[in-house]
Amino acid sequence: MKKVGIAISVLLSVVMSAALAQTGRQTFLGVDPGKSNIPLDQILRGNPVPQGIPSIGHEGDWIGWTTPTPGARFVSQEEAAAWLSDREPVVAMSINGVSRAYPLQILTYHEIANDVIGEIPVAVTFCPLCNSAIAFDRRIPLTQEALDTVVAENPNASLVDLDEEFFDHYTFQHGVMPEFVKGVEVTFGTTGLLFNSNLIMFDSQTSTFWTQILGEGNVGALTDTVLLNYPAQIISFAEFRETFPEGSVLSRDTGFSRPYGNNPYVGYDDADSPPFLFPGMTDGRLPPKARVVSVDLRGETVAYPFEILVQDRVVNDQVGDEPVTVFWQVGTSSALNSDTIASGRDIGAVGVFSRSVADRVLTFEWREEGFVDNETGSRWNLSGRAVEGELSGAQLTPIVHDNTLWFAWAAFKPETRIFVGDN
């Protein structure tokens, strides 16, 4: 596509739809605005250019608007401890026996890390304006119709087969399985655009915009396609070291010079303060920036306010017919509070898990020694592993969740049930 200078200047205006109207069929990053499921006049510009906030491990898009960025590099926990404090938040992931930590002090300045964990291609994402940390499979599932669309647009697209493990995870998460025939493996970049103050990503192979919280194609070729999520838990670096002693840490050697560790959003998580670049009405059931643990499972959405979790420490509930538990534990700093992330106030950390273990449903409570199930008296850690008792060594199944600021989650999921007390 010819990148005409005047088209670029218009297409990067604050409101995307107005820009597209002025330029006819010229399209930003090759994305066709004729296919969308969100109001284009509510898409706002947060950064002047795509990849202005450079994602890590981006391969460059297929039409040449963006260039590749260096891949994710990792260091040992001992090396990371020289610049990462015990209380600092990291996004912890463990797939097929491989565990990694992605410090928010790095993701704040890159928002997306494209990686491969345990042979699974993933994108670990963080939107500071929503405090949302979400991980996706980089294999986008395609129905036959979507496959035809992708191939017609990009004959050289990186098509892959999807395995049974992918299908099993997708069915567990969404409860339904469309007739996927192939996948296309992509890397994700930042568009510089926002919807509901949330990061809009683009992929390298299909010219589609994806909102991070929805994990769904919202504008362009693969509109309505839903990505597969993986559980990603924000915990302290100290908790990561204790739980995953062999795990590695995303390196500051990203190929970019950034003030890692500094917080450019000082005071942003004040619960009553207004959100940034958010044109909509806020849901008054909670303060705009109240922290919630948000769960969307098999068609049901629930928000667990931190205010309740701090008091009760453990919640037993059911979401989408799945019995779940939510753990909360002190010891993790906010990434949005102080001028440095290390000095942020202690907001604690959470884990969300299925309560089904070996054909029985457990109920949990907080006792002086930690998280304990009432059925066996076993003690569990924040990552859902039994560390003492009859079930020692057992692992609870992690549930995909997010630690979101309420205004953003409610804007995307207004039907959300707010948890008000233990069942």
Amino acid at site 302: V
Residue 23: its pLDDT value, please?
Answer: 32
CA atoms within 13 A on the CB side of 216: 11
Residue 18: its pLDDT value, please?
Answer: 44
Give the other-Cβ count within 10 Å of 78's Cβ: 9
Give the other-Cβ count within 10 Å of 386's Cβ: 21
pLDDT tens sequence for the chain (423 residues): 323 222 322 333 334 444 333 333 336 899 999 999 999 999 999 988 999 999 999 999 999 999 999 999 999 999 999 999 999 999 999 999 999 999 999 999 999 999 999 999 999 999 999 999 999 999 999 999 999 999 999 999 999 999 999 999 999 999 888 999 999 999 999 999 999 999 999 999 999 999 999 999 999 999 999 999 999 999 999 999 999 999 999 999 999 999 999 999 999 999 888 898 998 899 999 999 999 999 999 999 999 999 999 999 999 999 999 999 999 999 999 999 999 999 999 999 999 999 999 889 999 999 987 999 999 999 999 999 999 999 999 999 999 999 999 999 999 999 999 999 855
Give the other-Cβ count within 10 Å of 1's Cβ: 12
Q: What is the DSSP letter of 15?
A: B
- Name, in order, each residue with C-beta under 8 angstroms of 116's C-beta and a sequence gap of 6 or more: 122
Residue 177: its pLDDT value, please?
Answer: 87
- On whether the CB atoms of residues 10 and 24 are closer than 8 A, the answer is no
**Beta-ladder partners of 333:** 346
Residue 27: its pLDDT value, please?
Answer: 65
Q: What is the DSSP letter of 73?
A: -
Residue with tokens 């994402």: 125
Residue 48: its pLDDT value, please?
Answer: 83
Q: ∠318-323-325 over CA atoms, to 5°?
A: 90
- Count, residues in the chain: 423
Instruction: Using DSSP, state whether 77 is helix, strand or coil.
Output: helix
CA distance 304 to 307: 8
Q: What is the DSSP letter of 18?
A: H
Closest by CA position to 198, among listed 266, 306, 259, 279: 279
CA distance 371 to 368: 8
**Beta-ladder partners of 114:** 123
Residue 47: its pLDDT value, please?
Answer: 85
Q: What is the pTM of this model?
A: 0.93
Residue 205: its pLDDT value, please?
Answer: 98
Residue 15: its pLDDT value, please?
Answer: 41
Tokens of 293: 């643990």
